[in-house]
């Protein structure tokens, strides 16, 4: 029987935050439970996400570079957001293989009823349709509550409309992750009680701003809210792993822990990108490179570490393979099945390059240990600058991308990376991208 799958998806967790990635006590807070988990599976040091929340979620859910899906930028006002119903999600594929599917956390892939989680393959869900910024709105002195309604918390089951559970405020933000893990715990227990395979997707809030710990964790670190929230989340991940042990399903469950993009960059909650430069909403390594831990007892060698290049789209294809599902063949799927790599059957991931989009603009190409920037933007607040001459960085020598070495000796790198971009452009010519804001029903042109 295919294994259960638990997917913990942090929101803006920097590469350098966890102890197993050089953080932990360095950041003023140990992360013992997650660090111990590292020894039970594989730790990747070159997992790449997209530069923003929605594109990363889109990539994981569909296995397609988000430019294809129209999920790279906010559409015009009143146009629908998120994935058109024609897109196939990993929840749909696993559901067709007999999995019970649950979503507990932030969706951010469409707020219209036909684009909510229970319309996209999840049997049940709880959480937020948009993002956590909105929890701050009511705290602003001049918030125009009569003009802009507060975001809501929601829950729903497949076959019925989702139900609003009330406003999402700063106070509710403190309880968001507790509820994610509590709902996940109940979901897992119900499935385990009837020996039902499950896919539990946990796109939690931490550490997206405002990074506010649950009241039970306030003050526990002695280093403020940000560190307190780390204690909370490490504890909650540990409790989740304990539940799998208690129910005797750990050996039959794949657990993935990763983040949707790089470190939180809003003061006073600014995170840490470790050795990498830049911030999210850019093509810098600090935006794209994230922690990634995965445990699959009996299949992944405990204590494994790899710097092979992987990407968010590969998770769709990999989870489909684990669950015994076939990926769609009527559209381009950019993801690579990582199962042979993760289990040690092959030494390489199968990926040499990542196309680095910010919104729908190609800012850079990452090829092997090289990064070539065509549009330069180091931090979210910086204006993007189109370069007349590309900038190139050897990431082994220059992880913070400070010293451009394109000229005079390394112009060859552009030619080496070019086939990956040309192949993508050719596929767009054959299968045109879906425009942001495209309504349903959508069908690609014949």
pLDDT digits (tens, 9 = 90+) for 371-391: 999 999 999 999 999 999 999
- Tokens 């946990």, located at residue: 202
* Cβ–Cβ under 8 Å, residues 39 and 302: yes
Q: Are 34 and 19 in contact (CB under 8 A)?
A: yes
Residue 432 has φ and ψ, to the nearest 5°, of -60, 145
Asked whether the predicted pLDDT for residue 138 surpasses 90, the reply is no
pLDDT of residue 141: 84
- How much is the pLDDT for 350? 98
What pLDDT score does 77 carry? 80
Q: Is the pLDDT of residue 124 over 90?
A: yes
Q: 142: pLDDT confidence band, cut at 50, 70 and 90?
A: confident
Q: What is the pLDDT, as a whole number, of residue 347?
A: 96
Tokens 């998806």 found at: 9
What sign does the dihedral 271-273-278-283 (CA atoms) show? negative
Q: Is the pLDDT of residue 195 over 80?
A: yes
- Model pLDDT, residue 271: 95
Are 206 and 31 in contact, with CB atoms under 8 Å apart? no
Confidence tier at 424 by pLDDT (50, 70, 90): very high
pLDDT tens-digit profile of 227-243?
Answer: 999 999 999 999 999 99
* Confidence grade of residue 140 (pLDDT, cut at 50, 70, 90): confident
Per-residue pLDDT tens over the stretch 58-100: 999 999 999 999 999 888 888 999 999 999 999 999 999 999 9
Known catalytic residues? Answer: 53, 108
- Mean pLDDT within 42-52: 98
- Comparing CA positions, the residue from 255, 352, 343 lying closest to residue 33 is 255
How many CB atoms are closer than 10 A to CB 193? 9
Summarize pLDDT for 7-18 with one digit per residue, the tens: 999 999 999 999
What pLDDT is attached to residue 349?
Answer: 98
What is the pLDDT, as a whole number, of residue 228? Answer: 97
CATH number of 353-430, picked from 3.30.1330.10, 3.40.605.10, 3.30.1120.10, 3.90.700.10: 3.30.1120.10
CATH code reported for the domain at 4-137+152-342: 3.40.720.10
Of the candidates 106, 74, 90, the residue with the CA atom closest to the CA atom of residue 10: 106
CB 135 within 8 A of CB 146: no
Domain ranges of the chain: 4-137+152-342, 353-430
pLDDT on residue 74: 85
Quick one: pLDDT at residue 277? 98
Q: Which of 42, 14, 427 is nearest to 260 (CA)?
A: 14
pLDDT higher than threshold 90 for residue 408: yes
Residue 417 pLDDT more than 80?
Answer: yes
Count of CB atoms within 10 A of residue 197's CB?
A: 22
Residues 177-193 pLDDT 10s:
999 999 999 999 999 99
How far, in Å, CA of 103 to CA of 236, rounded?
17
pLDDT of residue 168: 96
pLDDT, mean of residues 327-344: 98
CA distance 350 to 359: 26
Task: Report the chain's mean pLDDT, rounded to a whole number.
Answer: 97
**Res 76: pLDDT:** 80
Res. 259: pLDDT tops 80: yes
């Amino acid at each position: 029987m295919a294994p259960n799958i638990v997917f913990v998806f942090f929101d803006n967790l920097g590469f350098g935050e966890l102890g197993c990635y050089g953080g932990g006590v360095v950041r003023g807070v140990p992360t013992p439970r997650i660090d111990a988990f590292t020894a039970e599976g594989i730790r990747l040091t070159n997992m790449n996400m997209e530069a923003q929340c929605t594109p990363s979620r889109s990539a994981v859910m569909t296995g397609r570079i988000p430019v294809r899906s129209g999920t790279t930028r906010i559409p015009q006002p009143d146009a629908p957001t998120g994935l058109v119903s024609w897109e196939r999600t990993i929840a749909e594929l696993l559901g067709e293989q007999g999995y019970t599917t649950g979503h507990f956390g932030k969706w951010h892939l469409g707020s219209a009823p036909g684009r909510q989680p229970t319309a996209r393959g999840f049997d049940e869900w709880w959480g937020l349709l948009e993002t956590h910024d909105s929890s701050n709105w009511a705290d602003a002195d001049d918030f125009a509550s009569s003009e802009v309604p507060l975001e809501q918390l929601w829950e729903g089951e497949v076959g019925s409309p989702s139900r609003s559970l009330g406003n999402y405020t700063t106070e509710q933000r403190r309880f968001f992750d507790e509820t994610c893990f509590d709902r996940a715990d109940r979901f897992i227990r119900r499935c385990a009680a009837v020996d039902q395979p499950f896919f539990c997707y946990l796109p939690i809030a931490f550490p997206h701003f405002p990074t506010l710990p649950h009241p039970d964790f306030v003050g526990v670190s002695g280093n403020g809210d940000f560190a307190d929230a780390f204690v909370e989340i490490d504890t909650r991940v540990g409790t989740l792993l304990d539940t799998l042990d208690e129910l005797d399903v750990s050996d039959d469950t794949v657990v993935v822990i990763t983040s949707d993009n790089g470190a939180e960059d809003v003061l006073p909650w600014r995170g840490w990108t470790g050795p990498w430069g830049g911030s999210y909403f850019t093509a810098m390594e600090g935006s794209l490179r994230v922690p990634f831990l995965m445990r699959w007892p009996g299949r992944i060698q405990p204590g494994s570490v790899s710097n092979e290049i992987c990407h968010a789209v590969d998770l769709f294809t990999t989870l489909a393979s684990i669950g015994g599902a076939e990926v769609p063949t009527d559209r381009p799927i950019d993801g690579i099945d990582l199962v042979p790599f993760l289990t040690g059957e092959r030494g390489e991931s199968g990926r040499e390059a990542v196309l680095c989009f910010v919104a729908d603009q190609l800012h850079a190409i990452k090829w092997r240990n090289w990064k070539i920037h065509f549009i330069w933007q180091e931090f979210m607040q910086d204006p993007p600058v189109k370069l007349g001459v590309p900038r190139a960085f050897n990431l082994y020598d220059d992880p913070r991308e400070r010293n451009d070495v394109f000229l005079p000796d390394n112009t060859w790198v552009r030619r080496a990376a070019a086939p990956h971009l040309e192949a993508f452009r050719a596929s767009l010519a054959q299968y045109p991208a879906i425009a942001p804001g495209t309504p349903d029903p959508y069908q690609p042109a014949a």
